Amino acid sequence: MTPDTGIISRMRYLMEISRMSQADMSRRLGMDPATLSKILSGKLPVTEGFINRVVADMGVSKRWLRDGDDLPFAKPVRARTIDSPEISDDLPCRGVPVYDIDVTAGFGSLDRMFTQEHIIGMVDLPRISPDAAIVRVSGDSMSPTVPSGAFVAVRDVTAAPAIFWGQIYVVVMDSYRMVKFLRRHPSDPSMVILHSDNPAYDDMDVALADIRRLYIVEAILNYDVRC
């Protein structure tokens, strides 16, 4: 078995346990579906950049994906806030923090709200990277993909070199925060299109320079509360 064959096998295992189709995986990685298909079929080589993308976007162990060692999903030893190394003894020892924050309420960066007193619990799920934060979403503009009241796992990617077009982001601007699909503007590279899933909402053209912060939505947590 070649190194690429082993990585491809582990990629298929990752899709299986995450219940993701190949199309789901390409969207999660921000890749062209045809390119991912060629990699998984062995027609294109598995590059270090591809490995790093899977590790960053899927939260898997690089040792496991590249070499077959370790476990697929590394577990944080103790609970930490998103912006602080302090460890809380009052919370479970592992998982991603859930914050009592409505990401669409108010404006300004979320970082100042990712503090210990806003943590209301921890979630330990394999598809969520340990450096993410889980927050609540209100409003129906992204319904049905993100229904009002759903929780989403977000990760700060403001310093990332590129936008993964077609992915869902929390977009932070001076006057508001929104959860939207980001689409490339067809004619003006200085602009971006904010697209809602709900057809009742129109697309918005926004200047990239007006976006203060971006948080990619890594996972959507929907659940029913039943008596």
CATH number at 40 reads 1.10.260.40
Measured CA to CA, the distance from residue 68 to residue 62 in angstroms comes to: 9
CB 131 within 8 A of CB 190: no
Is 86 strand, coil or helix?
strand
Q: What is the CATH number of the domain that holds 151?
A: 2.10.109.10
At 89 the pLDDT is 43
155 and 47 housed in the same domain: no
Q: Domain tally for the chain?
A: 2
Non-local CB neighbours of 205 within 8 Å, separated by 6+ positions: 185, 191, 192, 193, 194
Residues 154 and 208 in one domain: yes
Question: Is residue 171 situated within a structural domain?
Answer: yes
Residue that is last in its domain, among 49, 67, 85: 67
The pLDDT of residue 176: 87
Tens-digit pLDDT profile for the chain (227 aa)? 567 888 999 898 888 877 788 988 888 888 899 999 999 999 999 999 898 888 877 777 888 888 887 667 654 433 344 444 443 444 444 578 888 888 887 777 777 778 877 888 887 777 677 788 999 898 899 999 998 888 899 988 876 667 889 999 999 998 889 999 999 999 999 999 999 999 999 999 999 999 988 999 988 887 544 33
- Domain membership of residue 88 (yes or no) is no
The answer as to whether 77 is a domain residue is no
Q: Which domain holds residue 209?
A: 95-221
- Spatial CB neighbours of 82, under 8 Å, sequence gap ≥ 6: 97, 111, 114, 131, 132, 133, 156
| Stated pTM of the model | 0.58
| Helix (H) / strand (E) containing 204 | strand 204-207
Residues 142 and 191 in one domain: yes
Question: Would you say residue 205 lies in a domain?
Answer: yes
Same domain, 103 and 29: no
The model's pLDDT over 117-160, given as tens digits with 9 standing for 90+, comes to 788 888 777 767 778 899 989 889 999 999 888 889 998 887 66
Q: Does 167 map to a domain? A: yes
Asked if 160 and 50 sit in the same domain, the reply is no
Q: What is the pLDDT of residue 36?
A: 93
Domain-embedded: residue 87: no
Same domain, 205 and 101: yes
